[in-house]
A and B are shown apart, each in its own frame.
Chain A
Amino acid sequence: MKKSVYAAVSAVAMSCALPVMAEPQAEVLHWWTSGGEAKSVAVLQNEFAENGGTWTDMPVAGGGGDAAMTALRARVLSGNAPTAVQLKGPAIQEWYEEGVLADISAVAEAEGWADVLPASIAGHMMCEGTWCAAPVNVHRVDWIWANADVLKANGIEMPTTWDEFNAAADKLAAAGITPLAHGGQAWQDATVFEAVALGTLGADGFKKAFVDLDMDTLKSDKMVAVFDQMRKMRGYVDDNFSGRDWNLATAMVMNGEAGFQIMGDWAKGEFLAAGKAPGEDFLCASVPGDGFLYNVDSFAMFNVDGDDKKAGQDLLSKLIVGQNFQKVFNLNKGSIPARVDVALDEFDSCAHLSAKDMSESSDNGSLLPSYAHGMALRGAQSGAITDVVTAHFNSDMSSADAVNQLADAVANSM
């Protein structure tokens, strides 16, 4: 396995050697520092070196990227931006508006990115018509994970509507099993909330509420229904959930303490690392409702001086969206490739489902950005929504109050 990967890497390296003008240089700011992530980024690093580039690694761990963003702010303000930075979603546009992003349209057009990336994902990578970032992967957020044995023992099928989910959860609760493994952290509350919202509001309603911030949708009766379902979800969580990390919640599903977990596909990595097999030990399905919520990691290229650095940006962009890196990286990370023409033979069944749903939802317009993971809205707006969601989930606030607060908070965050 490993040997074939290296062989593939070097084969690509030889076949796509760039015309040598200046030695490509890249200083890459990212926060992929934990085990699997660090391994994934090392793939890119090796590939870059094999193409004659010099990679300066600038990992900044901590706070889910907060620390890295602080470092980036300091670097940009001092006029010394890194070559490439791990950025995603609307943050790319925010930095573009500060006038600090570079144009990589030449590479993107030569490589035909527009043809291989789903349109809505490509949209995040463009700044006013020019390409300014390169996508690395697609994480699906609206997954529901389940313990296969627990479901079987209680005669439960994977739910396809929220009513079925509630019925299944009641059954599990009666059997003394925690229905929903959950960690009481604001972003996890938001992850469950947007899964419920997608199922209740539908893809159109979700887009209106959390992409366009349409006040009528935010205040609608359906939004009240979303909060009603959230109140039910609160009842399916064990008493001890506050502050629990997501991977501990995944472990609860793994060892049969809990039936379900709603979490992005990074949870799959936990199952696989524990030697569980998809379809046998654990089940994966999209949450009830149509649509696909994505969380796409990407690298934005910043304005830099010097031909060597510009050559570095071009090479890096080309490699990131290249077939080989997209495959190897995503095998490590548990996500799926952003480009749709990568062979998925080595991927597992959950990834196949994810890829199939992505292309289908891209065709029917239900491929949507995740609000909880900073893809749909800017930090101030998504933060304001999360404040309300987590306050409602952790108190006895009524759904009607929550909807009013939601509208106020969104208006106040503008």
Chain B
Amino acid sequence: MTEWLERHIPKMVLAPSFIAILVFVYGFIAWTAWVSLTRSRLLPKYEIDGLIQYERLFASPRFDTAMMNLFIFGTLFIIISMVLGLLIAILLDQKIRTEGVLRTIYLYPMALSMIVTGTAWKWIMNPGLGIEKMVRDWGFENFSFNWVVDPDMAIYAVVIAGVWQASGFVMALFLAGLRSVDGEIIKAAQVDGIPSWRIYSAIIIPSMAPIFLSAFIVLAHLAIKSFDLVIALTGGGPGYATDLPATYMYAMAFSRGDIGQAASSAMVMMAVVFAIIVPYLYSELRTKHD
């Protein structure tokens, strides 16, 4: 009896959460996939009607803009956050006295919600209230920084706010990575008289590859699901210039009574996530098998 219990208790303890995930994650993914093939409007309907929702989705210029924005935002957000995070981490790694304080300062933006970040940056970048007005008041009459109200530049304003929020977190990841590199190797390199930029570029950074991967995965999924930042910063505007797939999906599902469109755009978003996550999982699982 006790032996049976010992063998089965782990399974029994895990079962509820397993069932919950099965239903609430995979079950609902399947449900969304089903609904995306129907002509659902206000309420979900279940008669399959082919790929009509996907045809409508790809014919919509607004969804085009949303995917393009996701691409611009995702690429810049990930690259700039990683570069800035790594730079700050390397600078903090120079055994400076106030590291604890500085680290906290850089990490704090992560403690804010995206809504707060978005609202604060909305005011900072507003041409009539923020930076532009301040610099003009200093006497530089021709200074202009109106990205947030310029349809062509607004998505880059979103990138600024996103990077401000996330780069501190990336810094913390990289700092932990830098500290985990074997000190003996670094000392050996120093004894050989190798300059410190070479030590970083040839020894430390290559040995941090797994950290890069984790940072990339975290940032990529933050980028794909970002919604609150755009809603707070620009509300998707000017026009729909800063729409992302997530805000498109929300508009279709909750303001326009077009559940079929919302479901199909959700499936496209999931496909994008899979395109990033699956190779990662594949490489992880493979190295375990070896």
Contact = CB atoms under 8 A, between A and B. Distances in A.
The reply to whether chain A is a binding partner of chain B is yes
Contacts of A76: 43
B254 A184 contact: no
A77 interface: yes
B251 interface: yes
B237 A240 contact: no
A221 interface: no
A193 to B, nearest CB: 12
B151 A394 contact: yes
A162 interface: no
Interface string B245-276: 00000010011111001000000000000000
Contact of B237 (A73, A98, A390): A390
B149 A95 contact: no
Interface stretch (B7-15, B16-24, B58-66): B58-66
Interface in B217-241: 234-241
Interface stretch (A47-55, A141-149, A324-332, A376-384): A376-384
Interface residues of B, number: 31
A409 interface: yes
Given A98-B43, A405-B61, A412-B56, A91 B239 contact: no
Contact of B257 (A63, A91, A243, A393): A91
Contacts of B257: 69, 91, 94, 378-380
B103 interface: no
Contacts of B149: 184, 239-243
A242 B238 contact: yes
Interface residues on A, range: 35 or more
A395 interface: yes
Interface string B153-168: 0000000000000000
A280 to B, nearest CB: 30
A98 B238 CA distance: 35
A185 interface: yes
A395 B239 contact: yes
B42 interface: yes
A4 interface: no
A392 B238 CA distance: 10
B251 A383 contact: yes
Contact of B60 (A77, A95, A239, A412): A412
A292 to B, nearest CB: 26
B207 interface: no
A73 B238 CA distance: 30
Contacts of A77: 43
A67 B239 CA distance: 22
B62 to A, nearest CB: 5
A122 B59 CA distance: 37
9 contacts: A66-B254, A95-B42, A242-B238, A379-B255, A379-B258, A392-B239, A394-B239, A395-B241, A408-B59
Interface of A: 63, 66-67, 69-70, 73, 76-77, 91, 94-95, 98, 184-186, 189, 239-243, 378-380, 383, 387, 390-395, 405, 408-409, 412-413
Interface of B: 41-43, 56, 59-62, 122, 126-128, 146, 148-149, 151, 234-241, 251, 254-258, 261
